[in-house]
Amino acid sequence: MATTANQPTAVPPVPHEDDGVPPIHWTTEEEGRAMFDDAARAMLGISGEEFLRRYDAGEYSPVEIFEGPDHGKLVSLEMLIPFARTR
């Protein structure tokens, strides 16, 4: 006996201009570095380059990153590092 439970259902396409979701914007390497730099300046008052220098030198300990007073800012910047280092 055949059932329709596992049969694919036709789903009509949703028009992108009406769904309220902006289109995806793929950042260039330059845009990514600028975004990272802007975030570092806004969150810590230092350049993205300076943040990376301090981060690489170990000036931000894991305790400071995850429990210090600026932990939210540091974690946010840590997650943005791939935008600054594309290679």
pLDDT tens track for 38-84: 999 999 999 999 999 999 999 988 877 778 788 889 999 999 999 99
Q: How many Cα atoms occupy the beta-carbon half-sphere of 40 within 13 Å?
A: 23
The tally of domains found in the chain comes to: 1
pTM of the shown model? 0.68
Indicate whether 54 belongs to any domain: yes
Indicate whether 51 belongs to any domain: yes
Indicate whether 22 belongs to any domain: no
Indicate whether 75 belongs to any domain: yes
Indicate whether 23 belongs to any domain: no
Indicate whether 15 belongs to any domain: no
- Per the structure block, which two tokens stand in for 63? 């305790």
Indicate whether 70 belongs to any domain: yes
The band of 13, judged by pLDDT with boundaries at 50, 70 and 90, is low
The band of 18, judged by pLDDT with boundaries at 50, 70 and 90, is low
Tally the residues of the chain. 87
Indicate whether 60 belongs to any domain: yes
Q: 77: domain range?
A: 47-82
